[in-house]
A and B are shown apart, each in its own frame.
Chain A
Amino acid sequence: MIESDAFVQALQDIGVDFFTGVPDSILGGIIAELMERRLYTPAVREDEAVAMAAGAYMAGKIPAVLMQNSGLGTSLNTLISLNYIYHQPCILIVSWRGHGGNDAPEHLVMGEVMPQFLDTMKIPHRTLTEKTAIDDLKWVAETFMKKRIPVALNITKGVVRGLHP
C-alpha cells in the first residue's frame, strides 16, 4: 500500500501546487495529508472544483482535483465546455467507487462504466497501482504537459492508505 504522505509528496515533486476537490473515503488519507501541509482548498461541488482548477492553471499553477467518480458526472459539462475546449489541463484524482461490483448500490453503475465514460469524454486515464506508481505519475505529468487537457488518475480502494484501515 502507498502511504498518503508519499503520494502527496510525489504529486508535489511533479509540480502540482494547487489542490482542490470534494472528499471521498478512499481519498481520505490523501486529503488529510494535504490539509496537514496546508495545500488543500475545499470545494462544494466537483464542477466548481474543476472550474477553480481552470482559474488556478491560468494563473500559473499546476492544479489537481480530487473527487469520487460520481463527481465525474457532476463535472461533465464543465470538464468539456471549459477545461477541454479551452486547453486548461488539470489532474483528476478520481476514486473508483463501485470497482469490481463491490460497493453500495449508488456506486455500481458508475463503477462499471467509468473507463468507457472517461473514454467517451476523451479524458486520458490510468489506474494507479503500487507497482507502477512511479510510471503512472510520470505518465500523468507528461500527458498534462503534452495534451493540455484534463487527465485522470483513478484510485481503487486499498492502493493508497486511507483514514481507516
Chain B
Amino acid sequence: MRPEEGTMQSRAMAMAALLELLTDQPVIICNGFPSREAQKIADRPTHFYMIGSMGSAAAIGLGVALSKPNKRVIVFDGDGNVLMGMGTLATVGALKPKNFIHVVFDNEVYGTTGNQPTISNVVPLEKVAKAAGYVHVERVREREDLVYEFKDMLSKDGPSMLLVKVNEMVEDAGRVILDPPDITKRFMQAIT
C-alpha cells in the first residue's frame, strides 16, 4: 500500500499550485488535513472549511454550483472522502453542472487518523467519475501537468474531475481557527 511509483508531490504543494491559479471562486475543502493546509497556504473568505461531515464536500459544492450557475465552484476533496460519499459522483454525473470542478488529492490513506490505507490504490476514482457522467477527467502526478490540466478545466464546461496523486507528507498546520458559524457567514458574504 504505497503511493503510485513516482509520486513525489505533497498535497500541500499541489494545493498551493492550484490556489495560485484561483482568485474569488468558491472553494469547498474537505475535512481533516486538507482544510488545515488550505487555511495555512492561503486563507480566503471564499474558502469553506468543512471540519466534520466526512464524505460531504462534493455535495456541499454541488449545492453551491447549482444555486450559483455563473460561478465556477471548486471542491478540494480526498480519496477517503470520495469513497465515503461515492454516490455523489453519480449525482454530479447525472445533473452535469457545467461550473463544477472536483479536485481529488489522492494519497491512498486516511492521513488525518494515522495513514490507514484506503482502497484508492486499486479503485481509480477518476474512472468511476467518468463512468458516472463527468465530462472531463484527468489523472496527474507532476506539478506541470497539474497546472496545465487545472487551467484547462477552469476554461471548459464541466463537470470535471482532476485526480492528483500525492504522497503522504503532511504540512505542519493547526486546526481550523474560525468557528463554524463564522466560516458560514464569511463564505456566504464572499460568494454573494
- Interface of A toward B, CB cutoff 8 Å: 18, 20, 41-45, 47-49, 51-61, 63, 77-78, 80-82, 85-88, 148
> Chain A: which residue is nearest B183 at the CB level?
A86
A81 partner residues in chain B, CB cutoff 8 A? 51-53
Q: Which of B52, B61, B62, B180 contacts A87 (CB 8 A)?
A: B180
> Shortest CB–CB separation between residue A87 and chain B, in angstroms?
4
Interface assignment of B187: CB less than 8 Å from any CB of chain A: yes
> Shortest CB–CB separation between residue B133 and chain A, in angstroms?
13
Interface assignment of B19: CB less than 8 Å from any CB of chain A: no
The answer to whether B180 and A51 touch across the interface, beta carbons within 8 angstroms, is no
> Chain A: which residue is nearest B181 at the CB level?
A87
B contact patch SS:
helix
> Shortest CB–CB separation between residue A133 and chain B, in angstroms?
28
The answer to whether A51 and B187 touch across the interface, beta carbons within 8 angstroms, is no
The answer to whether B56 and A86 touch across the interface, beta carbons within 8 angstroms, is no
Q: What is the number of contacts between chain A and chain B, taking CB atoms within 8 Å?
A: 104
The answer to whether B55 and A59 touch across the interface, beta carbons within 8 angstroms, is no
The answer to whether A61 and B67 touch across the interface, beta carbons within 8 angstroms, is yes
Interface assignment of B59: CB less than 8 Å from any CB of chain A: yes
Interface assignment of B188: CB less than 8 Å from any CB of chain A: yes
The answer to whether B87 and A41 touch across the interface, beta carbons within 8 angstroms, is no
With the chains together, A43 CA to B88 CA distance in Å? Answer: 8
The answer to whether A52 and B63 touch across the interface, beta carbons within 8 angstroms, is yes
The answer to whether A18 and B67 touch across the interface, beta carbons within 8 angstroms, is yes
With the chains together, A101 CA to B62 CA distance in Å? Answer: 38
The answer to whether A55 and B183 touch across the interface, beta carbons within 8 angstroms, is no
The answer to whether A87 and B184 touch across the interface, beta carbons within 8 angstroms, is yes
> Shortest CB–CB separation between residue A91 and chain B, in angstroms?
14
The answer to whether B192 and A60 touch across the interface, beta carbons within 8 angstroms, is yes
With the chains together, A56 CA to B65 CA distance in Å? Answer: 8
B60 partner residues in chain A, CB cutoff 8 A? 51-52, 54-55, 58, 82
B53-91 contacts to A, CB under 8 A, are 53, 55-56, 59-68, 85, 87-88, 90-91
The answer to whether B87 and A48 touch across the interface, beta carbons within 8 angstroms, is yes
B90 partner residues in chain A, CB cutoff 8 A? 44
With the chains together, A61 CA to B62 CA distance in Å? Answer: 13
A-B CB contact pairs (8 Å), 12 listed? A44-B91, A49-B59, A54-B56, A55-B59, A55-B62, A55-B66, A56-B67, A58-B188, A59-B68, A78-B56, A80-B52, A82-B52
Most buried by B among A47, A81, A86, A87: A86
A58 partner residues in chain B, CB cutoff 8 A? 48, 60, 63-64, 184, 187-188, 191
Apart from A51-B59, A52-B62, 5 more pairs, CB < 8 Å: A43-B59, A47-B53, A55-B28, A55-B65, A82-B56
> Shortest CB–CB separation between residue B31 and chain A, in angstroms?
9
> Shortest CB–CB separation between residue B87 and chain A, in angstroms?
4
The answer to whether A48 and B192 touch across the interface, beta carbons within 8 angstroms, is no
With the chains together, A58 CA to B191 CA distance in Å? Answer: 8
B183 partner residues in chain A, CB cutoff 8 A? 86
